[in-house]
Amino acid sequence: MNSVLLSALAIVAVASAASPNDVIAIVSQEQDISPDGSFSSKWETANGISVQESGTLKNAGQKDEAEVIQGSAAWTAPDGTKLNLQWFADENGANFQGDHLPTPPPPQEIPAAIQRALDWIAAHPHKEESSPKGKF
């Protein structure tokens, strides 16, 4: 699933770099899919777009089995800016990094009254009351 999402992202990058009528040649392409679930893929186009991605299966056959994928893409924006994108995805989600990506603002400080309430809750965890059978 993550592989499909990341591949779609790469296709969007390719599509945005060329006009709809341009035919861009693929100058190199390598793919390897192993029986153990691991894979690698790498390709480059004539206009300088390059994408590489690899993945492995973590904890194969177990309840917490997950695919781990990492990759990168590089291309030139229409304004001439060189863009690089890296990603890593596993059972905890995906993380994308690139100088062109927006960054969130720093987290705000927690107000003192709320922090005191959070500290009290942590120190006094809720205890379930057991009710006698037959009563709600």
Q: What is the pLDDT of residues 10-62, one digit of tens each?
A: 555 544 555 667 889 999 999 999 998 899 999 999 999 999 999 998 887 88
Is position 10 within any domain?
yes
User: How much is the mean pLDDT over the chain?
Assistant: 84
- In this structure, the number of other CB atoms found within 10 A of the CB of residue 87 comes to 20
Contacts of 37 (CB under 8 A, 6+ apart): 55, 56, 57, 60, 67
Going by C-alpha positions, the residue among 40, 42, 44, 53 that lies closest to residue 14 is 44
pTM over 0.95: no
The single residue listed with the structure tokens 């100058």 is 27
**Tally of structural domains, the chain:** 1
Domain residue limits at 15: 2-101
Q: What is the pLDDT of residue 8?
A: 45
The three-state secondary structure class of 55 is: strand
Is position 109 within any domain?
no
Is position 90 within any domain?
yes
Q: What is the pLDDT of residue 26?
A: 94
Q: What is the pLDDT of residue 68?
A: 94
Is position 40 within any domain?
yes
